[in-house]
Amino acid sequence: MMTAVTKKTVLIVLRHSPYGSGLAKAALDTALASAAFEQSFDLLFMGDGVLQLHPGQDSRVKGFKNLGRQLASLPLYEINHVYVETQALARYNIDVSKSPVHIQQLNGSEIRQLMTCYDHLMGF
Partner 1 sequence: MIYSLLILSSPFSGDCSRTAAAFARCAIARGHTVHRVFFLDTGTLASAANSVSAQDEDTALQSWAELADLHSVELAICITSALKHGMFDQTEADRNKCPFSTMDPAFTMSGLGQLVDAYASSDRLITFGG
* Contact footprint for partner 1 (CB under 8 A): 1-8, 10, 15-16, 21-23, 25-26, 29-30, 32-34, 36-37, 39, 119-124
Q: Where would I find the H helices in 3-78? A: 23-36, 67-72
For partner 1, the closer CB: 37 or 102: 37
Q: In one letter, which amino acid is 1?
A: M
For partner 1, the closer CB: 25 or 52: 25
For partner 1, the closer CB: 22 or 75: 22
CB of 44 to partner 1, least distance (A): 14
Give the distance from CA 57 to its chain's centroid. Answer: 16
Rounded distance between C-alpha atoms, residue 52 and residue 83, angstroms: 13
